[in-house]
Amino acid sequence: MKSNFLKVALAQIAPVWLNKEQTIQKIENIIIEASKEECELIVFGEAMLPGYPFWISLTNGAAFDSAVQKDIHAHYVQNSIQIEKGDLDGVCQLAKEHKMAVYLGFIERALNRGGQSIYCTLGYVNQEGELKSTHRKLMPTYEERLTWASGDGNGLQVHPLKNFTVGGLNCWENWMPLARTALYGMGENLHIAVWPGSDYNTKDITRFIARESRSYVLSVSSLMNTSDFPENTPHLDKILEKAPANLANGGSCIAGPDGEWIVPPVINKEGLIIETLNFNRVLQERQNFDPVGHYSRPDITQLTVNRERQSTVKFN
């Protein structure tokens, strides 16, 4: 059956760092490139739009009331995504035009939280061009908390895509067993794990999640070199003082439902990684283990998930 097969593209590319307009253009161009290969799903890395906050660990991001940190943060917020103002309309239109689903990591300036704080969000656009879920990272990791706010459970969603059920998490959320379980419990069998970049993140967890869940796992990372930093970046000289030439080497990869590599981590190579997945492999591997089905005991252990979108103000 044709519905058993899904052609996927992992977009391992670098953003035009902290530049919303130019990064959107690059994203749209590579969606068009993937459409020429008849891809049905394309995935971009964590915080791809407009980029990961590398400056925090390079410029003493924890310094209180620092003019440097305030300047860079304000620039970041100015280049973040406001869904309600149509920033992703072009991506949605291309998804509809080419009948291609999209998972995109972006920095969201959330209007329902006042419009000034930003969230590390993973958005899913279906093949009809509809933005179906926006998952705000539940817990930003370590220094990320100096620029990103904590999200909520609203985006813990899965989506039908041909015979597959697809869901996703941001970076170290993939190490959170209960977040993974929430997606498994909704029938996920194609797991999307997005990362800012580097194989040290993807080389172990990708195969582990696949083997634990008996699902396909796509780990998608960005690339980043200091040569990708635009000259108009605030305090670029201070950022470059301690920055290594390579900040993110990619490491995008695909594991099958048996936990073995289909595509091992790809290092320092920009472009599309394309593969066709066979849904029947999921059913084969679930025969002897299904973590939320026949190999579970909900009479003993259960998970409760609050998927309410959180907001400081509610109007009756």
Predicted confidence at residue 270, as pLDDT, reads 97
Predicted confidence at residue 105, as pLDDT, reads 98
Q: Three-state DSSP class for 23? A: helix
Q: Is the pTM of this model over 0.95?
A: yes
Distance CA 262, CA 200 (A): 18
Full set of structural domains in the chain with CATH: 2-286 (3.60.110.10)
Structure confidence at residue 314 as a pLDDT band (50, 70, 90): confident
Predicted confidence at residue 104, as pLDDT, reads 98
Structure confidence at residue 30 as a pLDDT band (50, 70, 90): very high
Predicted confidence at residue 298, as pLDDT, reads 95
Average pLDDT over residues 16-38: 97
Distance CA 176, CA 260 (A): 21
Average pLDDT of the residues of the chain: 96
Residue-wise pLDDT for 71-89, tens only, equals 999 999 999 999 999 999 9
Residue-wise pLDDT for 128-160, tens only, equals 999 999 999 999 999 999 999 999 999 999 999
Residue-wise pLDDT for 241-296, tens only, equals 999 999 999 999 999 999 999 999 999 999 999 999 999 999 999 999 999 999 99
Average pLDDT over residues 95-118: 96
Average pLDDT over residues 93-114: 96
Structure confidence at residue 1 as a pLDDT band (50, 70, 90): confident
Q: Residues 289, 293, 299, CA angle at the centre, nearest 5°?
A: 120
Average pLDDT over residues 28-53: 98
What percentage of the chain reaches a pLDDT higher than 90? 96
Predicted confidence at residue 199, as pLDDT, reads 95
Contact 167/161 with Cβ under 8 angstroms?
A: no
Distance CA 58, CA 75 (A): 17
- The kind and range of the H/E element at 158 are strand 158-161
Distance CA 286, CA 92 (A): 34
Please, how many CA atoms are within 13 Å of residue 105, restricted to the half-sphere of its CB? 30
Is the confidence at residue 211, as pLDDT, over 90? Answer: yes
Predicted confidence at residue 315, as pLDDT, reads 86
Predicted confidence at residue 196, as pLDDT, reads 96
Average pLDDT over residues 47-62: 96
